[in-house]
Structures are given as structure tokens and as C-alpha cells.
Amino acid sequence: MDNRLIRFLAIMAIALSLSWSLSCRQPEQKAGQVKPVVIQVGEKEIQARDEAIYKTREYNGRKHEYLSLDFSRIERPASLDEFQKIFHQPPIRQYNTGTCWSFSTTSFLESELKRLGRGEFKLSELYTVYWEYVEKARRFIREKGNSFLGEGSEHNAVFLRMKQYGAVPASAYTGLLPGKTEHDHSALFQELRDYLDFCQKNQYWDEEKAIAYVKLILNKHLGPPPAEIEYNGQKMTPKEFLENVLQLPLDDYVSFMSFKYIPFYTRGEFRVPDNWWHSRDYYNVPLEEFYQAIISALRSGYSVALSSDVSEPGISGEEGLAIVPSFDILPSLVDQDSREFRFYNKTSEDDHAIHCVGLARKGDHTWFLIKDSAGGPHRGPYKGYILYRDDFVKLKVLAFTVHKEAVADLLKKFEQK
């Protein structure tokens, strides 16, 4: 081979090698900058990748390890002032109880009282809780033990108890014994469970006597509920306070879910343990309409009570955020089926009830302002609030309750069936 040809080929090989090396080299970053790793499909960048990391927290004197992520990289509203807010009473804690359903729904009804022009009221959550425990025990006795027994319940239970037993101001019944400042129902519910287990074991189904004993247990731990209260100088029963003062339209509230186990645009059961009386009053709609109904209600000035899964790495009360991390599923892939799959395999469960009181837009996402009675958000940066991102609402919020006027167009689809 000619020497000149050999030299030419050698030079070309070196040039190609340098070109390849330069094309593969990562661009240099300025000092102090960390370029986020993005998930890429073909030529399109989908989103920044969330890395799964383990953290520890101390609870009851013991350290617990849990899966989480670096929330500092999540773009979020700079403050609560960015939210379009709906009137609500300040957040309060439920402490060591499973009564989020009453705290969230009571807060929801307080917002409704203001919206309806009735005024500003602070109602007693524990008055409703007392009677819910009574009715749970009653059904347990009537069903001879074939009824779920737990502290949890659903939003519509509050409407049922108020219809039966009325309502009272928070000042009239705290559910706290003298000297107590924090709720703790662990001993109460253990005693209640032990008694009802005794009834089941011994086939003791005398409803009147059993409920009388249940009330003794409740009175011991919560104090007896008032049979009469005084409001604006007038004495009245809790039912009279509800009917004459509050005048809440309890029949005007509707609950929605979005599941494929029954046909859409039909009503059916929300299949979770806390729906302990198997209410079949839930309106079932496709996910996009479910989600848009929440947004539309908030934009129109209606607050919304939500039932949500909160046992996920993407939610942190201490951080004040709830998102779906990319290592779970990309937000763009959240749909009816991914939601259904998680409900089916029980990675989405009805863990918690909360009150949605605001809406904001930040970057590519819609954010929801959540008033939360759990301990984590009260220790977090927003002191009783947590910010839910749109992907979390679509994937993890399982049901919601709102005034029927906020979803009038959606309800018409059920009338046409």
C-alpha cells in the first residue's frame, strides 16, 4: 500500500476517534450546580427522576426506617398565599384517634355553613364520634358480630349521625376528661372491642343492655354527651340546634368514587372496611370526570371532603407535600387502570379523610390545599396543612363528598340512565 495512503488513513482514524470522544463527553457544569437526571423516552424528556431513598424517624421512642425521596427538588407553591382559598376554621389535631372522618367532615360542614350564609361556627367533632361508636356497636350486636369494628368511618356517616342525634358547638362537648388536652382513644377502643368480643364469644345479643354498657365505656373515656345545650341564651337539644340554628341541608351532599368494579354512571358501594354499614350511595364516574369535578367545585367556591391513601413514599406530612414519585409511576401514565390496579392489590387503601380548601397552579402542575388533622402535617412547615399535587389526587384520592350544586351537570348523567 502507498505510504501516503497509509498516512492519510491514520490521520482520518485519529480524527474520527477525537470526534467520537467529544460527542460522548457530558457538558461541563458550573460549580455548585446539580443537573437533574431526567427520564427520557426517545428524544423526549418526560420529567425529572425521583430517586428512592431511605429515611428514619423517631416514633414512641423508637427509630423507624421508611422509603421516601428528596422533596427539596420538587417545585411547589412558595407559600399558602398562592392558593385560592375557601373559608374554613383553623386546623386542629385528632391526636391518637382514628377519627379523621369526623374532623374532616365537620370542617367541611363548617365551611358549608359560611358559604350558605349561616355564619361562622366551630362544631364538636367528638359529639359525632360518640354516637358513631354507639351505632357501630349496635350494628355489631344486631349482626351477631358480622360487622367491621374499627375507629374509622366515612364522610357520609357524619350526616347520618347528625340526622339521628343532632350537633353541638365544640365548646359544649370536647370529648376530653378534666385535665386532658389531647385525644387518645387507644384504651377506649380496646375496652369497647374487648366487651363486644365477649358478647360474640358468649352469644350475648341483648341489644338494649349491650348498648347501655357501651355507653358506660364511652362516658368513662369521653364524658357523657349533653342532652341539652345553651345557645344565645336559649336552651335547646342538639337536634333543635341542628334544625333551628345550623339548618344544614344534610340531604344535599353527595359522594363520588371512580372504580371499574361497577359500571360508570351508576351508584354502588365504596368497598372499603370503613364503609362499615356498606353504604351504596356513591356515584361512580370515570377518573377524568372525578378529577375535574373536584377542580370545578373548588373554582366555584365549594370546598371538598376527600378520602385518600396516605401510606406512600410520595407523601410526607413533615415535608408538607404529597406527590407520585417517578419510581412509582410517571404522572403522565396515571389513568383509570393504574389507579384500579393499586386499589385491587391494596397499595391504595382508604387510609385517611381530609378537607380540601384551596387550589393553585405552579409550573406544570395543579396543587390542592389540604387541611389535615393528622400529626405529621401539624409538625410540618404548613402547621396543619399539606399540599397535594395533581398526580397524587388522580392516583390516590379514592372518594370525595361535595354539595350537589357543585356537581349538578355530572349528576344529570345519572338521571339519564
Residue extents of the structural domains in the chain:
71-415
How high is the pLDDT of residue 38? 66
Asked if 78 contacts 65 with a C-beta cutoff of 8 angstroms, the reply is no
Q: pLDDT band at 136, cuts 50/70/90?
A: very high
| pLDDT mean across residues, the chain | 91
* pLDDT score recorded for residue 45: 55
Confidence band for 96, pLDDT divided at 50, 70 and 90 = very high
Q: What is the pLDDT of residues 256-311, one digit of tens each?
A: 999 999 999 999 999 999 999 999 999 999 999 999 999 999 999 999 999 999 99
Residue 8: pLDDT above 80? no
Is residue 162 very low, low, confident or very high in pLDDT (cuts 50, 70, 90)?
very high
Buried-state track 72-87, b at ≥16 Cβ within 10 A, e below 16? eebebbeebebbeebe
Model confidence at 246, in pLDDT bands (50, 70, 90)? very high
User: Would the pTM count as exceeding 0.95?
Assistant: no
Write the burial class of residue 116 (CB in 10 Å: 0-12 exposed, 13-18 middle, 19+ buried): middle
More confident residue, 116 or 417: 116
Length of the chain: 417
Res. 185 pLDDT band, cuts 50 70 90: very high
- pLDDT tens-place string over residues 352-365: 999 999 999 998 89
Q: Grid cell 413514599 — which residue? A: 313
Among 304, 298, 355, residue whose Cα is nearest residue 125? 355
Distance, CA of 243 to chain centre: 29
Digit-coded pLDDT (tens) for 312-329 = 999 999 999 999 999 999
Give the per-residue pLDDT at 415.
84
CA within 13 Å, CB half, 250? 20
Class of the CATH domain delimited by 71-415? alpha beta
Comparing C-alpha atoms, which of 270, 275, 269, 276 is closest to residue 148?
276
